[in-house]
Amino acid sequence: MGDMIRASGLVKRYKDVEALAGLDLTVPEGKVLALLGPNGAGKTTAVKCLTTLIKPDAGTAEIAGVDVLKEPALVRSKMGLSGQYAAVDEHLTGYENLVMIGRLYHLGKARSQQRARELLERFDLTEAADRPSKGYSGGMRRRLDLAGALVAEPPVLVLDEPTTGLDVRSRQGMWEVIRELVSSGATLLLTTQYLEEADKLADDIVVIDHGQAIAQGTADELKARTGGERIEVVLADVEDREAATRVLAEVSDGEVKVSDNGRELTAAVRGTATGELLRVLQGFERETVTVLDVGLRRPTLDDVFLALTGHAAESDENESDEKEMAK
């Protein structure tokens, strides 16, 4: 079993910005790798380099054993790409879109038509098959786009932020579809901004920031590095802040974060989350701290980022940059 996707030392510069600063990746056959990072981290640039859409300034990459730089045409026949902005023709129907893609993969007319019908059925688009895709919902367009990536049953799939911008229900639908793909043995590279998504779908996660991999591991490993689950407390009275911080510090292995208004406190817990939560509540009772809300939550991408880089994900600031660069 070899590696189906391999990249080493990928560098891509746009004027003064280094979108990729020496990125390394490997995805073994049949595995799912999630490339996790905020907007502007270089995820889309990495995808474009791997899928022959842009040429990296330095570094090498292979898809299914084929050199991306030397034989881009052959690489294109071995992978399917589903992008961030659903790449479907809005005037064509769902069926016509898929048949066109099949014919451009050189499957022949009959086979293309057959694949189109199979995929529409599988992605629950049969009813909408003969309507122009212009009228599809966001979730339907993404499913159609993903179906497009699967037309030629390529051994490698690259999905660039498949659920960004989808509502919760469509997102869960996409997750189901992707999980099914994985169980059928495809090798998959997936980019996402959501730890939860990486967690649900990937075998392995690479966290990327400023064009470089800053951490790699399973979701559990990454979460362990960020200090596991969080206890969040909202105080009824700001005066209780110090007492509450003391109680939280007993169960936490890191700092207790206090919000700007001084009423919301967050601490990463060391031991079993529920046990520690009980201890915290007992502590509050003892110290007569009144709270409006207490809860446990899992680490978010922001927590992972904060722990790994010491800075927050700054997603909003960089968003426009990457879009600009992706052009």
Partner 1 sequence: MSSAVQALSDGWVVAQRNLVKIKRVPDILVFVLISPIMFVLLFAYVFGGAIDVPGDVDYKEFLVPGIFAQTVVFGATFTGYGLADDMQKGIIDRFRSLPMSRSAVLVGRTTSDVVYNVISLVIMALTGLLVGWRIREGLFDALLGFLLLLVFAYAISWIMAYVGLLVPSVEVVNNASFIVIMPLTFVSNAFVPQEQFSGVLKTFVEWNPVSTVALACRERFGNIDPKIAVPDSWAMQNPEVYTLLWVVAIVAVFAPLSVRQYRLSTSK
For partner 1, the closer CB: 91 or 179: 91
Q: Applying CB under 8 A, which of residues 5, 33, 61, 101 lies at the interface with partner 1?
A: 101
Report in angstroms how near the CB of residue 296 gets to partner 1 at its nearest.
40
Extended strands (E) in the chain: 3-14, 17-28, 32-36, 58-63, 66-67, 79-82, 156-160, 187-192, 204-209, 212-217, 230-235, 252-258, 264-269, 291-297
What is the DSSP track for 154-202? -SEEEEESTTTT--HHHHHHHHHHHHHHHHTT-EEEEEES-HHHHHHH-
Per CB under 8 A, does 103 bind partner 1?
yes
Q: Which stretch binds partner 1 (CB under 8 A): 73-81, 166-174, 226-234, 243-251?
A: 73-81
Residue position matching structure tokens 């509450």? 244
Where does this chain touch partner 1 (CB under 8 A) — which range of 78-86, 172-180, 243-251, 287-295? 78-86
Provide the token pair at 74. Answer: 């052959």
Q: Does 96 bind partner 1 (CB under 8 A)?
A: yes
53 binds partner 1 (CB under 8 A): yes
CA distance linking residue 221 with residue 27, whole number of Å:
18
| CA distance linking residue 65 with residue 26, whole number of Å | 12
* Residue 58 binds partner 1 (CB under 8 A): no
Euclidean distance between CA atoms 105 and 9, whole angstroms: 30
Of residues 138 and 262, the one with the C-beta less far from partner 1: 138
Please report whether residue 77 would count as binding partner 1 according to CB under 8 A. Answer: yes
Map the footprint of partner 1 across residues 144-163, applying CB under 8 A: 145, 148
How are strands ordered across the β-sheet holding 3-14?
17-28, 3-14, 58-63, 66-67
Neighbour count for residue 134 (Cβ, 10 Å): 12
Instruction: Give 82 or 245: the residue with its C-beta nearer to partner 1.
Output: 82
Regarding 187 and contact with partner 1 (CB under 8 A), the answer is no
Q: Which is nearer to partner 1, 105 or 284 (CB)?
A: 105
Is residue 83 a contact residue for partner 1 (CB under 8 A)? Answer: yes
Q: Which is nearer to partner 1, 27 or 301 (CB)?
A: 27
Binding site for partner 1 (CB under 8 A): 51-55, 73-74, 76-77, 79-81, 83, 85-89, 91-92, 96, 100-101, 103-106, 132, 145, 148, 327
